[in-house]
């Protein structure tokens, strides 16, 4: 998710973004004019051309969600977070915080290439923004290649690194004193759904996959619950192989309708992410990572995965876990069943559940 307080200091420079460097002082001078203008540098592929009766849905320091009449969420983003399918990446200065200026409920209008947030000084100039597509299908990943296997193993190790172990994966490694019955319940559920999803994915069996995904949607901590981020990562993996693996496009087609009805079971922000994912559109950090995997470039995989891990509190970690399962379900099932459970009572409870691939 894009809502965390994450700073992408070492962001790879993108042509459309690097054109302007905006500092706080330049914004200050802009604010002195009427009104305060911010330039958008990227517009997501799925952002509608017209925002009818749009209002601010929710606002965070580095992102602002705008809800349109039909419930679509378009997100104004600090460009440092990267583009998103329904995102408008804005060149805001370092210290800028959307939530110091904007409140939920603020009316939003678009006219003459300008997005105006009523009752605030903020106007977003859309005229110079470039349309950005977050389709990983152009960067085909071959899960059977050695380079891909190496990349996935590296991501797995990064997730295991206890110092940043977060989200769903952290359930395995929580020490006795911090693991609560809630974590135990979560782990018991994962112990059932993850193998199920792995089996379904190997078999390309949409029914099994839907069964597993619907047990995960809206599950866990976070504004976008962990399960949702996991599903997005999982779908990114499937889409990234879809131009190479002929069994995947029909499977993704079959999943779309169940996913669209499933999203009623989670919050609005997750809903938009999963909808975008089911349409094959993902956020820039995830697309960058997938592209690095497809290219078999170890170094870029390390950098982009590290960056993805820093999304939100656990959103990035959960998406990576999904990406691992989607890319190589067999290896995932084997690894996850070998993953030691550090919490003894939970481990005992898990023994009754078969962890098979």
Partner 1 sequence: MTYVLSHDEVHVSTLFEPGHAIINVGLSAFRDAIAQAGGSVVQVEWAPPAGGDRATGWDLARLTGHPAVERANAIAYANYLAAQPMLIDVDLARNHIPVLRDRVLLHAGPPISWEETCGPMQGAAIGAVLFEGWAASVAAARKLLDSGAIAFESTHDHATVGPMAGVVSPSMPVWVVENASAGNRAYCTFNEGLGKALRFGANSTEVIKRLQWMAAVLAPALKATLTKLGPLELKPMMAQALQMGDELHNRNAAASSLLLKKLVPAALRCKFDQTKMADAMTAIANNDHFFLNLSMAACKAMLDSAHNVPNSSMVTAMSRNGVRFGIRLSGTGARWFEAAAPIVHGLYFPTYGPEHAAPDMGDSSITETAGLGGFAMATAPAIVQFVGGTPDDAIANTREMTHITLGRNNAFTLPAMNFTGTPAGIDARKVLDTNILPIINTGIAHREAGVGQIGAGITRAPLECFAQAIVALASSVAQSEAPVPAESAA
Partner 2 sequence: MLESPHSKPATLFKVVRREYRDSVSLMQLSSSLTKMAGVSQASAVMATENNLALLAEARFEISGSDAGAADLLIVVQGDAAALPAAIDTAVAHLTRQADVGSSAGRAAVLPRSIQSALADAPSANLVLVSTPGEYAGAEAMKALRQGLNVLLFSDNVPEEDEVRLKQFAKERGLIVMGPDCGTAIINGIPLCFANVVKRGAIGVIGASGTGLQQITVLVDNLGLGISQAIGTGGRDLHSNIGGITFSTALSDLTADVDTKVIVLISKPPAPEVAERILSEAARAGKPVVVNFLGADRANISRPGIYPAKTLEDAARTAVDLARGIAPRASYDLSLPMPSGLPKLALEQRYVRGLYSGGTFCYEAAMLLDERLADVYSNSPVRPDGAMKDVWHSHRHSLIDLGDDVFTRGRPHPMIDFRLRNERIVGEAEDPETAVILFDVVLGFGSHADPASELVPALRRAGEAAAQAGRSVIFVAFVCGTDRDPQGLARQTQALREAGVHLMQSNAQAVRLAASIVVGRAPARARPRDVRPVA
Q: Residue 33 contacts by C-beta under 8 Å, 6 or more apart in sequence?
A: none
Considering only 38, 191, 217, 279, the residue that binds partner 2 (CB under 8 A) is: 217
- Select from 235, 232, 306 the least CA-distant residue to 269: 232
Q: Is 153 in the site for partner 1 (CB under 8 A)?
A: no
Q: Is 303 in the site for partner 1 (CB under 8 A)?
A: no
How near is the Cβ of 12 to partner 2 at its closest, in Å? Answer: 24
**Alpha-carbon distance values, 297 to 16, 83, 152, 283 (Å):** 23, 22, 12, 20
Query: DSSP H helical segments within 22-145, as ranges?
Result: 24-32, 98-101
Position of tokens 């820093």?
310
Residues 60-89 contacting partner 2, CB under 8 A: 60-61, 65
Instruction: Quickly count: other Cβ atoms within 10 Å of residue 12's Cβ.
Output: 14
Given the complex with partner 2, which of 141 and 171 has the nearer CB atom?
A: 171
Considering only 9, 15, 21, 33, the residue that binds partner 1 (CB under 8 A) is: 33
If you compute the radius of gyration of the chain from its CA atoms, what whole number of angstroms results?
Answer: 20
Say which entry of partner 2, partner 1, none residue 157 contacts (CB below 5 to 8 A, set by partner kind): none
Q: Is 119 in the site for partner 1 (CB under 8 A)?
A: yes
Binding residues with partner 1: total (CB under 8 A): 14
24, 96 contact by CB (below 8 A): yes
Given the complex with partner 2, which of 175 and 181 has the nearer CB atom?
A: 181
Given the complex with partner 1, which of 60 and 169 has the nearer CB atom?
A: 60
- Select from 310, 223, 225 the least CA-distant residue to 213: 225
Residues 107-166 contacting partner 2, CB under 8 A: none
Considering only 8, 16, 97, 334, the residue that binds partner 1 (CB under 8 A) is: 97
Given the complex with partner 1, which of 32 and 49 has the nearer CB atom?
A: 32
Both structure tokens of 83: 């583009």
Q: Is 223 in the site for partner 1 (CB under 8 A)?
A: no
Q: Give the per-residue contact string, 258-297, with partner 2 (x = CB under 8 A; - = no).
A: ------xxxxxxx---------------------------
The number of C-alpha atoms within 13 Å of 340 and in the hemisphere containing its C-beta is 5
How near is the Cβ of 15 to partner 1 at its closest, in Å? Answer: 32
Considering only 16, 36, 130, 347, the residue that binds partner 1 (CB under 8 A) is: 36
241, 283 contact by CB (below 8 A): no
Q: Is 219 in the site for partner 2 (CB under 8 A)?
A: yes
342 vs 326: CA distance, rounded Å: 25
Contact segment (CB under 8 A) with partner 2 among 89-97, 128-136, 137-145, 220-228 equals 220-228
Given the complex with partner 2, which of 70 and 112 has the nearer CB atom?
A: 70
Instruction: Quickly count: other Cβ atoms within 10 Å of residue 139's Cβ.
Output: 18
Position of tokens 């997750």?
270
Label residues 23-58 b or e (16+ Cβ within 10 Å = b). eeeebeebeeeeebebbbbbbbbbbeeebeebbbbb
Q: Is 94 in the site for partner 1 (CB under 8 A)?
A: no
Given the complex with partner 2, which of 215 and 303 has the nearer CB atom?
A: 215
122 vs 115: CA distance, rounded Å: 9
Given the complex with partner 1, which of 103 and 131 has the nearer CB atom?
A: 103
Residues 11-30 contacting partner 1, CB under 8 A: 28
51, 89 contact by CB (below 8 A): no
Applying CB under 8 A, which residues contact partner 2?
Answer: 1, 3-5, 57-61, 65, 104, 180-182, 184-186, 188-189, 215-225, 227, 264-270, 312-315
Applying CB under 8 A, which residues contact partner 1?
Answer: 28, 31-36, 97, 100-101, 103, 119-121
């Amino acid at each position: 998710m894009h809502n965390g307080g994450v700073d992408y200091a070492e962001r790879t420079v993108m042509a459309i973004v690097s054109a302007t460097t905006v500092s706080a002082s330049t914004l200050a001078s802009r604010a002195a004019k009427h009104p305060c203008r911010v330039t958008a540098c990227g517009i997501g592929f799925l952002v509608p051309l017209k925002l009818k009766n749009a209002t601010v849905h929710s606002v965070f320091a580095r992102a602002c969600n705008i809800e349109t009449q039909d419930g679509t969420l378009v997100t104004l983003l600090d460009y440092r977070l990267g583009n998103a399918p329904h995102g408008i990446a804005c060149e805001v200065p370092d210290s800028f915080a959307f939530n110091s200026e904007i409140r939920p409920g603020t009316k939003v209008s678009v006219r003459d290439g300008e997005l105006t947030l009523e009752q605030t000084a903020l106007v977003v100039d859309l005229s110079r923004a470039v349309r950005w597509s977050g389709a990983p299908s152009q960067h085909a990943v071959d899960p059977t290649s050695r380079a891909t296997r190496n990349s996935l193993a590296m991501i797995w190790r990064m997730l295991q690194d206890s110092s940043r172990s977060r989200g769903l994966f952290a359930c395995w490694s929580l020490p006795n004193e911090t693991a609560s019955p809630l974590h135990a319940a979560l782990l018991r559920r994962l112990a059932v759904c993850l193998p199920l999803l792995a089996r379904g994915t190997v078999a390309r069996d949409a029914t099994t996959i839907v069964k597993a995904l619907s047990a995960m949607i809206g599950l866990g901590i976070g504004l976008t619950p962990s399960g949702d981020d996991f599903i997005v990562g999982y779908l990114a993996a499937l889409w990234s192989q879809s131009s190479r693996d002929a069994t995947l496009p029909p499977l993704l087609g079959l999943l779309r309708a169940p996913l669209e009805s499933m999203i009623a079971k989670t919050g609005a922000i997750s809903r938009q992410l999963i909808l975008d994912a089911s349409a094959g559109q993902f956020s820039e950090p995830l697309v960058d990572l997938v592209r690095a995997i497809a290219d078999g470039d170890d170094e870029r995989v390390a950098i982009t995965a590290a960056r993805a891990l820093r999304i939100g509190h656990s959103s990035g970690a959960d998406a990576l876990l999904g990406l691992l399962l989607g890319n190589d379900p067999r290896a995932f099932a084997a690894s996850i069943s070998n993953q030691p459970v550090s919490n003894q009572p939970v481990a005992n409870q898990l023994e009754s559940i078969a962890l098979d691939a």
